[in-house]
Amino acid sequence: MPVIDDPAQFNEEELYVDLRGALGLPLFLKCEGFNFAGSIKLKAATEMVDAAERDGRLRPGRVLIESSSGNLGLALSIIAAHRGYRFLCVTDDRCNQPTIRLMEALGSHVHVVREPAAHGGLLAARLAYVRALCATDDRYVWLDQHSNEHNWRAHFRTTAPAIAHRFPHLDVLFVGAGTTGTLMGCARWFWQWRRPVRIVAVDSVGSVSFGRPAGRRLIPGLGASVRPPLLDTSYIDDVVHVDEADALHACRTLAGRGFLFGGSTGTVVCGAEQWLARHGRRGLTSVAIAPDFGERYLDTVYRPGWPHDDLAWPERERETALTHSG
């Protein structure tokens, strides 16, 4: 076991779950939650903070600020606590309460946006709040994960080559689309190294990232109400859109086999299952990335009755959720 003095120094990179046994699905799931932040976002957070320190933007006395649905905020909270920075996370009311409490326990301040913008929803409202604060106080340093190239470079440097090393004959890689940092880092790496790997993006129904109409989404992490600036679709071979009700069903099915994953993982697994049903062939080697685990989703994804007991959940989607959760 390693000996570390910095929480960002540890990340288990080599663990995969073979879903043929649990789900009868020819898919290897790369588990990214074994680090002190509990998610893949520790990679991007570390890369972006390191870059900001190198270029002199981030130095003692400055205050980190970032818009996050939860996991990046927690990763930055850990780094800020260790390196002695103050940190303000701007999130919205879809963020899991355990994640908010964890950030606060680490000394971060959390601002919850509850009113969506007229155009761009809660994400646009979060970004507007961050911009307004930065305009009034030059102590704030905004990393801006949505357009920061070090977001995708973190995965270009670590995640993609790790997958290629473990699966040298990989056929297809499924990656969830949020900020698209993980997606673009992996897609660019396989393109640059001329690996014949099909890159499939998995997005949530209701996300506008790939030109679909905006809709209500309750699971944080994947999807966006504003098109991600990092996204370059020329690197993407295919896109699968997953209903949140189907993502919940995938999460709960995995939990029934002893694997408790987060909502984003359920979405990606469901998208991979749909794609493989249409395109899969015998002997296909496929990998999907699991961003986090399920402990922080106990009050949402794994709470009996959620989300169809939420009066804000549209009637049609409540009925779909009931069908799948039964």
pLDDT tens-digit map of 294-308 = 999 999 999 998 877
Q: Is residue 12 part of a domain?
A: yes
Range of the domain at 111: 41-142
Same domain (yes/no): 182, 255: yes
Q: Is residue 1 part of a domain?
A: no
251-255: list long-range contacts, CB under 8 Å, 24+ apart. Answer: 251/294, 251/297, 251/301, 251/302, 252/301, 252/302, 252/325, 253/23, 254/22, 254/23, 255/294, 255/302
Q: Is residue 2 part of a domain?
A: no
Is residue 320 a contact partner of residue 314, using CB atoms and an 8 Å limit? Answer: no
Same domain (yes/no): 101, 174: no
Quote the tokens at residue 184: 């673009």
Same domain (yes/no): 115, 246: no
Same domain (yes/no): 20, 132: no
Q: Is residue 106 part of a domain?
A: yes
Same domain (yes/no): 122, 108: yes
Same domain (yes/no): 46, 188: no
Same domain (yes/no): 59, 182: no
CATH of the domain at 293: 3.40.50.1100
Mean pLDDT of 232-249: 96
Is residue 204 a contact partner of residue 219, using CB atoms and an 8 Å limit? Answer: yes
> What are the C-alpha distances in Å from 202 to residues 104, 121, 180?
31, 21, 10
pLDDT tens-digit map of 1-35 = 689 999 999 999 999 999 999 999 999 999 999 99
Mean pLDDT of 112-134: 91
**Secondary structure (DSSP) of 170-224:** --EEEEE-SSSHHHHHHHHHHHHTT---EEEEEEETT--TTSPPP----SSSS--
Same domain (yes/no): 228, 121: no
Q: What is the total count of domains within the chain?
A: 2
Q: Hunting for tokens 């991007």 — which residue is that?
A: 44
